[in-house]
Amino acid sequence: MSAATAQEILIALALALVAASATAAALTRDPARQAVQLAVLGLCLTVLFTLLQAPDVALSQLAVGTAITPLLILLTVRKVRRPTGPRRDRDGRRGGGADEP
């Protein structure tokens, strides 16, 4: 088996993994669970970029997908879900008033 065929087989495997994890991430509803699934998707994308001989893209994808995106998502989930009774009431009243021309 030639080297080019071997690399194409590896790229096909990595593409199948990316498709599976991306579908799972899109079908997940809870944002905290979705953050974990997004981290796995970032790892699969890193493997795909490395097999496509783009190690710098894989490096930046690794930094963004493994560290920064889960941190931002989990910080946002914490901020949104903090139990604050009066503020939630005010938000609920303000929610219906989007009728500006």
Partner 1 sequence: MNAWLLATAVLLTLGMPPCVWAAGRGTAVERLAGLNLATALVTAVLLLTAQGLGRSSFTDVALVLAVLGPAGTLVFTRFLGGRSMEAPDTTARGKA
- Near partner 1 in 59-78, by CB under 8 A: 59, 62-63, 66-67, 70-71, 74-75, 77-78
Residue 74 DSSP label: H
- Are the C-beta atoms of 50 and 6 separated by less than 8 Å? no
- CA angle (65, 59, 18) in 5-degree steps: 50
Shortest distance, CB of residue 85 to partner 1, whole angstroms? 15
Q: Give, rounded to a whole angstrom, the gap between the first and last alpha carbons of the chain.
A: 66
Q: Are 46 and 69 in contact (CB under 8 A)?
A: no
Q: Does the protein bind partner 1 through residue 55 (CB under 8 A)?
A: yes
Which residues are near partner 1 by CB under 8 A?
Answer: 1, 3, 5-7, 9-10, 13-14, 17, 20-21, 24, 28, 30, 32-33, 35-37, 39-40, 43-44, 46-47, 50-51, 53, 55, 58-59, 62-63, 66-67, 70-71, 74-75, 77-78
